[in-house]
Structure 1
Amino acid sequence: MRIPINLASQPFRRDRAMLVASIAVSILLCGTLAFMISLARADNAQLADLRHEVSRLNAEKRKVTAEQLQLDAVLRKPQNAEVLEQSVFLNTLLLRKGISWTRIFADLEKVVPYNVRVIQIRPSVNAQDQVSLDMLVGADSMTPVIDFFKALQGNSMFSYSDVKVLQPPSQADPFYKCRVSVDYAQRL
């Protein structure tokens, strides 16, 4: 017969499994902490590189802005004003020259009815490099002119037509005349 005797002042507790699990979780948490610290350091290094790049780009921007101001000051001098005006004039001429009359007439040929006459066309270019056409058209009656407006609105090359003047026929001129402005989709 066996008699269990415990000579300790406190009874024996079975905490070994709990202690091993706690140590394992502690090691896992320490590993996670080390991983998070390394990620934070890498992020800080990357952030420092990014800040350095931003400061370099800002310095470059300041340098380019200073150069631009210096060049603008040279251009604004009174002795250079005539050359600047001539340059602007030539650029405007080149821009207007970039409008293709052949394309304008080819596109108008698709929408103008046979009994409508295009009397005058004046292309212009706005600040956004969009071409608009100011046209004077004429016909024997109003019906072909209305058909012309409908054809303009139905074509993708022409948008927003604005009828400015409508003249009835006179003794000297037997045509109904209409001045119209349209935006033209030709790219420069």
Structure 2
Amino acid sequence: MKPIHLNLASRPFRDYRPVYAAVVIMALLTAFLALNNVDTFLRYRTETKTTRANIAKLEQQIADEQRRTESFAQRLRGVDLKLLASQTEFANAQLAERAFSWSELLDRLERVLPTDVRLLSVSPSFEKDGLVHLSMTCIAKTGEGLTATINRFNGDQHFANAFPASETVNGTEYHFTLGVDYRPSIARRVE
């Protein structure tokens, strides 16, 4: 048999304590998480403040460098490269001419020229490969002076391609102009 439950209350009894406890726990958990979020946000702002300042400083440096780069690029675009190349070529030629050893050349000419040939003038022109072309005016006592001079130049290792440009006879003297390539011991390239 089943016992009889008598409820004499005007309304039924309901126990809301577990519901209230769950609501309070949820409210406390929500408040804790909200405070944790606020704390995390504030820490993020303070910790990234220096990083943001560094980023702003780096962006400013990048902008400054880009302005400087553009300024240099404009200056480079304004440079006349053809004029600069010709000036550089001229300066290199002047340096090669100044480095040219006249004493070495004159010593070698003294050894190569025949005894009956006298040198009146010598004019060097410098080639880009380091070779020096000499234009010389000479006086010989005999008619064989020109051929002897050419043969002696062609026989020396420092001279090559001796070729006469002109020859005239003035009484007993034979004037002739000669072109010859000269290889100095230290050839300086003109670029």
TM-score, with length taken from structure 2: 0.52
The equivalent position to 1:74 in structure 2, one of 73, 76, 91, is: 76
Q: 1:82 to 1:139 in 2, by over 3 A?
A: same
In our comparison, the structure showing a higher alpha carbon Rg is 2
Between the aligned partners of 1:76 and 1:127, the Cα distance in structure 2 is 29
User: What is the SS of the residue equivalent to 1:168?
Assistant: strand
Aligned counterparts, 1:148-167, within 5 A: 148-167=149-168
Aligned counterparts, 1:31-110, within 5 A: 74=76, 77-78=79-80, 85-110=86-111
Structural RMSD (CA): 2.8
Between the aligned partners of 2:174 and 2:86, the Cα distance in structure 1 is 42
Aligned residues: 114
Which sections of structure 1, spanning at least 5 residues, go unmatched? 1-69
Aligned counterparts, 1:138-157, within 5 A: 138-157=139-158
**Structure 2 counterpart of 1:132:** 133
Of the two structures, which has the highest relative contact order with CA contacts closer than 8 Å and spacing of 6 or more?
Answer: 2
| Corresponding letter in the other structure for 1:181 | G
Aligned counterparts, 1:169-188, within 5 A: 169=170, 175-186=173-184, 187-188=187-188
Identity of aligned residues (%): 21
The alpha carbon displacement at 1:100 in A equals 0.7
The alpha carbon displacement at 1:181 in A equals 0.8
TM-score, with length taken from structure 1: 0.53
Instruction: Judge conservation of contact 1:121–1:134 (CA < 8 Å) in 2.
Output: yes
Q: 1:94 to 1:75 in 2, by over 3 A?
A: farther
